[in-house]
């Protein structure tokens, strides 16, 4: 339950994406640090170069996440292939069993 008298709760409300403008006003009236943080964020948001750098960073983070997901998928596929080969070599898994398990 939200307790406006708890500084941690105020910061969590401040950072929450669904905080209303009325709630934000109340937080800024109660907490000078939050008021300063909001002023700084507003200033940075108004600066075109900062917004451009933010967009570049967001794209880079998205690209990195995509790259990692692709690498994981590739690794899983290589693992399946290697497992099939090792199973055939050891004679523990028949080609039919491999087909049943992997499709």
pLDDT in tens, 42-94: 888 888 998 899 899 999 999 999 999 999 999 999 998 888 777 666 666 66
Q: How confident is the model at residue 21 (pLDDT cuts 50, 70, 90)?
A: very high
Q: Greater confidence, 79 or 103?
A: 79
CA distance 82 to 70: 18
Task: List CB contacts of 14: < 8 A, sequence separation 6 or more.
Answer: 24, 27, 34, 37, 38
pLDDT of 89 reads 66
- Give me the mean pLDDT over the 34-45 stretch: 91
For residue 30, pLDDT over 90 is answered with yes
DSSP assigned state of 1: -
């Amino acid at each position: 339950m939200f307790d406006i008298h708890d500084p941690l709760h105020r910061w969590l409300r401040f950072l929450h994406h669904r905080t209303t403008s009325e709630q934000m006003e109340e937080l800024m009236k109660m907490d000078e640090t939050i008021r300063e943080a909001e002023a700084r964020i507003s200033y940075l948001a108004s600066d075109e170069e900062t917004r451009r750098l933010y967009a570049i960073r967001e794209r880079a983070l998205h690209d990195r996440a995509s790259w990692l997901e692709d690498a994981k998928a590739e690794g899983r596929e290589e693992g399946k292939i290697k497992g099939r080969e090792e199973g055939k070599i050891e004679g523990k898994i028949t080609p039919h069993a491999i087909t049943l398990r992997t499709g």
